[in-house]
Amino acid sequence: MSDIIKLLPDAVANQIAAGEVIQRPASAVKELLENAIDAGSDTISLVIKDAGKALIQVNDNGFGMSETDARLSFERHATSKIKSADDLFNINTKGFRGEALASIAAIAQVELKTKVEDNDLGTQIIIEGSEVKEQEVCNCSKGTSFSIKNLFFNVPARRNFLKSNPVEVKHIIEEFQRVAMVHAEIAFSMYNNGNEVFNLNKGSFRQRITGIFGDKINQKLVPVTENTDIVTVEGFVSKPEFAKKTRGEQYFFVNDRFIKNAYLNHAVQNAFDQLLSKDQFPSYFLKLTIDPSKIDINIHPTKTEIKFEDERAIYAIIRTAVKQALGKFNISPTLDFEQESSFNVPLLKSTDSIKTPSIKVNKDYNPFETKTVAPEVKKQSTENWESLYSSFEKDSAEIIEHQEKKGEQQVISPQWDEEEEVKQTLLQLHSKYILTQLKSGSLIIDQQRAHERILFEDFSKNLEQGKGNTQQLLFPETIDFTTADAELLNELNTEIKNLGFDIDKMGKSSFVVSGVPTELNEQNVKKILEGLLEQFKLNESELKLKKHENLAISMARSASIKSGKNLSYEEMKALVDQLFACEMPYSLPNGKPTIITLNLEDLNQQFDY
């Protein structure tokens, strides 16, 4: 047989790559805005027509490109932002992959005009489906202008896949806001079909937030600041009384990049503690500054997720910072030293009576105590939780409405109506997931992670209280361990007993187990103990967890129901029941999701209702 492998032509390779980088007009908007910021611009405008399907234009006054760079910018892996792999650990720009322009040019008709300060004339390039149609000099001002016309003109399947104009515009606005919000030092404007949507002057972070969400938000903001060696936190949270029933305005930025992080979100939510009920969500706008070598932004093509080296410490710092900010706010509710005079929100209306400040101080509170790192484990009422399936408040529908991207995880706080009872749908998929239905959509639960979360909370409590529940074995088992494992078992003897094991040493490296934690049911004791030790060692070397936390995590991992196990209806029901009785049902201690939601409206939309 003759050779059949061929290298793909660049245009085809770019088109394939484009699928990952440019999913919809909003993705192109994000890339172009970020490029404009990386170019040091201080004025950026965005013009869209027909929800970006006909035109996306971004104009900036940044440093522009030379003729050669202008041409090169459309090549794949062409970037001015990193030079070597080492630079990946010190990224100070938005872009670095050098694939956005190549991708966009593969699937659209692109016109670029750009000029550097020192030249009299600029360069104009027209490129369509990766093919350069025209390149000439042009008369333009310093900076760059990209016009993207007819996105996906040569990929009809993609174009047909786009949602209605209002939905696509919503996505574009969302991207615009995320980028503009954290760059208050740059003036941004946006026009949709000739109408001005935003016109944001340069100013402070507070001014930018009010520019985007309206002046009314100003009085709701409580400033947050914290400066540590690990991270600097700066920004605002909403006052508790303005908390929302939907998870709307929640923004984390890390080194000026918008990110999503369920774990850090929990830190903020947790800082509000008693101030909010379970169904209320604070708004927040928090900028974190971290040494770029301590984060990894290189894990997702659209880059809203990043990895932190020090996630737990950051959790604690954010929680503390927000708590302190709220504490200060309680002391002086009407005095806001950060108030900027350009807002016409009076500090005190003359008719307001001046309240005696009330001071709430938690004497036990010690910001340096690391106990706050791990979310505390509290059991909450499990009564009637299943009626959560019967009703989600209208608000919850809005909560998940934001969830458009497949696989995107959204944490929701279920609301239930005790009057209504509806039979619960539970369906196991691929021996791995449990599908269940809500009024406003569906939940998919990962069976193994769900069980791990449940066990983690149980075992943490047992360790904390120093006693787990033991089920005696009918026939005690003698187990031989490797010398190293036997050593470790000796060392962890007390804790292992506290987990609920009835275990005694019998000779050099043998142990006799007469009872096991009740959580284990009838599982293979030897396998569980070996799995526990294995996981414990791994966590110790990689995560440097505290002993208790490590043990609870390792034990939960080792003893959990695994993917691949078929579950009966009753087993699924018990699992889901217990999951929602957990303090933090939505994720594992490492932040990985246990549940994802599918919004009914999205489904309807996909079926074109």
| Cβ 175 to ligand ADP shortest distance, Å | 15
Using CB under 6 A as the criterion, which residues of the chain lie in contact with ligand ADP when the complex forms? Answer: 31, 35-36, 39, 60, 62, 64-65, 73, 78-81, 95-102, 144
Label each residue of 519-557 as H, E or C: HHCCCCHHHHHHHHHHHHHHHHHHHCCCHHHHHHHHHHH
CA distances from 277 to 30, 324, 389, 574 (A): 35, 19, 20, 26
What is the number of other CB atoms lying within 10 angstroms of the CB of residue 316? 22
Q: Which does 183 bind (CB under 5 to 8 A by kind): Mg ion, ligand ADP, none?
A: none
Q: Which does 311 bind (CB under 5 to 8 A by kind): Mg ion, ligand ADP, none?
A: none
Residue 466 backbone phi and psi in degrees, to 5: 75, 15
Q: Specify the residue, 182 or 318, whose C-beta has the smaller distance to Mg ion.
A: 182
| Cβ 50 to ligand ADP shortest distance, Å | 23
Q: Which does 81 bind (CB under 5 to 8 A by kind): Mg ion, ligand ADP, none?
A: ligand ADP
Q: Specify the residue, 95 or 589, whose C-beta has the smaller distance to ligand ADP.
A: 95
Q: Which does 552 bind (CB under 5 to 8 A by kind): ligand ADP, Mg ion, none?
A: none
**What Rg value do the Cα atoms of the chain yield, rounded?**
28
| Cβ 457 to ligand ADP shortest distance, Å | 42
Q: What's the number of CA atoms in the CB half-sphere (13 Å) around residue 155?
A: 28
Point out which span in 57-65, 95-103, 546-554, 590-598 binds Mg ion (CB under 5 A): 95-103
Q: Give the Cα separation of 16 and 106 in Å (integer).
A: 9
Among 15, 23, 27, 35, binds Mg ion (CB under 5 A): 35
The answer to the question of residue 100 lying near Mg ion (CB under 5 A) is yes
Specify whether the CB–CB gap between 286 and 224 falls below 8 A: yes
Q: Which amino acid is at 108?
A: A
Q: Specify the residue, 82 or 473, whose C-beta has the smaller distance to ligand ADP.
A: 82
Q: Give the Cα separation of 116 and 235 in Å (integer).
A: 35
Q: Specify the residue, 220 or 257, whose C-beta has the smaller distance to Mg ion.
A: 257
| Cβ 305 to ligand ADP shortest distance, Å | 17
Q: Give the Cα separation of 261 and 119 in Å (integer).
A: 44
CA distances from 298 to 295, 459, 592 (A): 9, 34, 18
Q: Give the Cα separation of 523 and 472 in Å (integer).
A: 13
| Cβ 444 to Mg ion shortest distance, Å | 34
The answer to the question of residue 18 lying near Mg ion (CB under 5 A) is no
Q: Specify the residue, 302 or 442, whose C-beta has the smaller distance to ligand ADP.
A: 302
Q: Which does 572 bind (CB under 5 to 8 A by kind): Mg ion, ligand ADP, none?
A: none
Q: Specify the residue, 35 or 255, whose C-beta has the smaller distance to Mg ion.
A: 35
CA distances from 407 to 260, 426, 558, 598 (A): 13, 20, 26, 9
Q: Specify the residue, 77 or 349, whose C-beta has the smaller distance to ligand ADP.
A: 77
- In DSSP terms, 438 is beta-bridged to 441
Q: Specify the residue, 30 or 171, whose C-beta has the smaller distance to Mg ion.
A: 30
Q: Give the Cα separation of 287 and 225 in Å (integer).
A: 9
For residue 109 the two structure tokens come to 């008709």
| Cβ 28 to Mg ion shortest distance, Å | 11
Q: Which amino acid is at 278?
A: K
Q: Which does 249 bind (CB under 5 to 8 A by kind): ligand ADP, Mg ion, none?
A: none
Q: Which does 98 bind (CB under 5 to 8 A by kind): Mg ion, ligand ADP, none?
A: ligand ADP
| Cβ 71 to Mg ion shortest distance, Å | 16
| Cβ 358 to ligand ADP shortest distance, Å | 51
| Cβ 74 to ligand ADP shortest distance, Å | 8
Q: Give the Cα separation of 452 and 529 in Å (integer).
A: 16
Among 95, 468, 531, 585, binds Mg ion (CB under 5 A): 95
Q: Specify the residue, 94 or 557, whose C-beta has the smaller distance to Mg ion.
A: 94
| Cβ 78 to ligand ADP shortest distance, Å | 6
Residue 222 backbone phi and psi in degrees, to 5: -110, 125
β-bridge pairing 502-505 and 433-438: unpaired
Specify whether the CB–CB gap between 510 and 479 falls below 8 A: yes
Residue nearest to Mg ion (CB): 95
Q: Which does 36 bind (CB under 5 to 8 A by kind): Mg ion, ligand ADP, none?
A: ligand ADP
DSSP structural state of residue 353: P
Residue 103 backbone phi and psi in degrees, to 5: -65, -50
Point out which span in 58-66, 91-99, 246-254, 497-505 binds Mg ion (CB under 5 A): 91-99
Interface residues with Mg ion (CB under 5 A) are 35, 95, 100
